[in-house]
Amino acid sequence: MQFIDLKAQYRLIEKEIKSRINSVLEHGRFIMGPEIGELEEELASFADCRHVVTCSSGTDALLMALLAYGVGPKDAVFTTPFTFIATAEAIVLAGATPVFVDIDPDTYNIDPKKLEEAISRLKKDRTELTPKGIIGVDIFGLCADYSAINHTAKQNNLFVIEDAAQSFGASYKGRRSCSLADVGATSFFPAKPLGCYGDGGAVFTNDDELAEKLRSIRIHGQGSDKYDNVRIGINGRMDTLQAAILLPKLALFEKEIEMRNKVADYYTSSLNGCVKTPHVPDGYRSVWAQYSILADNRREIMDELRKAGIPTAIYYQKPLHLQGAFKTLGYGEGDYPVSENISRKIFSLPMHPYLKKEDQEIICEIIRKSGAL
Ligand SMILES: *Cc1c(COP(=O)(O)O)cnc(C)c1O
């Protein structure tokens, strides 16, 4: 059994993918070829967002958004410590300082109340840092609470970036992920809900001026032509080949979201009461980048599953504030107790649209036998 089975999907659309790749090989426009524009239009319509700027990865999508806002030294950007390293890494790469805010114990996303407190506290006593923005992370494919986050941002004159690397395809109060904040940044890393066959990402916004900046930043801060550079940017383009691969995958994606939700529904109904299953609040639809559960005896359960040939993974073993990379920020054990507590109990089960019913049953049976809340 596989944690994520990419081959099953490939078999379904092999012809379309090969024919798309072939047409790129024939036209030869490997950089910024016509598939890039075609994909950007499709993504914009999917997420109901005016502008989409594809790019080289989810990390670069975040970095480009931060560069577009011009953050730099002494600027604080608030985010959660319970995320992949890239979220806070991009803040540091842009020259700003991440300020962590603990998560909600049920959704594992940034706690809006603690966010408000953290902003007030920073304004009061850390005068060397100025609050500039917030990166909300949609962990495991479940959107953060953007009504609350955007409200707090407005009151404090901060920008909001949605780190939608795990949530492309999810929805929140009738709107699609990537369009829930000032800017959305997603990833098409192969293991994400919508993945290409290499690295890829995209930035989403309804702001015309910001979109123009993002397009410039993507190509070395390009101005009116190739050799006119008006700002510092990056080499952030998506390969034409990756856009060609994503197009047939996107056509299949809506159906796959349904299938992912079916797997998650089965897991939840079958495991409820035995381990802590994911909480999806009313008005939210997850895209299930991960199906993650909490158990005090996680090692034991993971061992039992491994013996039966079932892979599991831990997202995340170590919250970011305890990572060596952020040592200079001066955080320590006990600073974010909810994140720390969850990182000690959480692990993720195999999750992809083509996970067979009998495999789901075996997984749940093993967990029910070895699980205890
Ligand atoms: C995967 C991921 C990223 C980075 O995406 P890449 O395409 O791998 O650079 C950023 N944030 C989160 C939350 C992620 O899961």
Dump pLDDT digits (tens) for 132-189: 999 999 999 999 999 999 999 999 999 999 999 999 999 999 999 999 999 999 999 9
Instruction: For ligand 1, atom 7, name the residue with the nearest CA.
Output: 58
Query: What count of other Cβ atoms lies within 10 Å of the Cβ of residue 105?
Result: 15
Pocket test for ligand 1, best of 85, 189, 292, 351 (most atoms within 8 A of CB): 189
Question: Ligand 1 within 6 A of 267 CB?
Answer: no
* 185 Cα–ligand 1 center, Å: 9
Ligand 1 atom nearest to 138, measured from its CA? 13
pLDDT digits (tens, 9 = 90+) for 192-209: 999 999 999 999 999 999
* 178 Cα–ligand 1 center, Å: 14
Ligand 1 atom nearest to 60, measured from its CA? 9
Report the candidate in 138, 142, 143, 166 with the shortest Cα–Cα distance to residue 4: 166
Instruction: For ligand 1, atom 5, name the residue with the nearest CA.
Output: 58
Least confident range from 118-127, 172-181, 332-341: namely: 118-127
Question: Ligand 1 within 6 A of 242 CB?
Answer: no
Task: At 369, list the tokens.
Answer: 């036998």
Is pLDDT above 90 for 350? Answer: yes
pLDDT digits (tens, 9 = 90+) for 6-54: 999 999 999 999 999 999 999 999 999 999 999 999 999 999 999 999 9
Average pLDDT of the chain to the nearest whole number: 97
pLDDT digits (tens, 9 = 90+) for 265-284: 999 999 999 999 999 999 99
Quick one: pLDDT at residue 125? 79
Is pLDDT above 80 for 356? Answer: yes
DSSP 171-229: EETTEETTSSSSEEEEE--TTSSS--SS--EEEEES-HHHHHHHHHHHBTTB-SSTT-B
Quick one: pLDDT at residue 372? 62
CB 35 within 8 A of CB 250: no
Look at the pTM and tell me if it is higher than 0.75. Answer: yes
Question: Ligand 1 within 6 A of 165 CB?
Answer: yes
CB 142 within 8 A of CB 286: yes
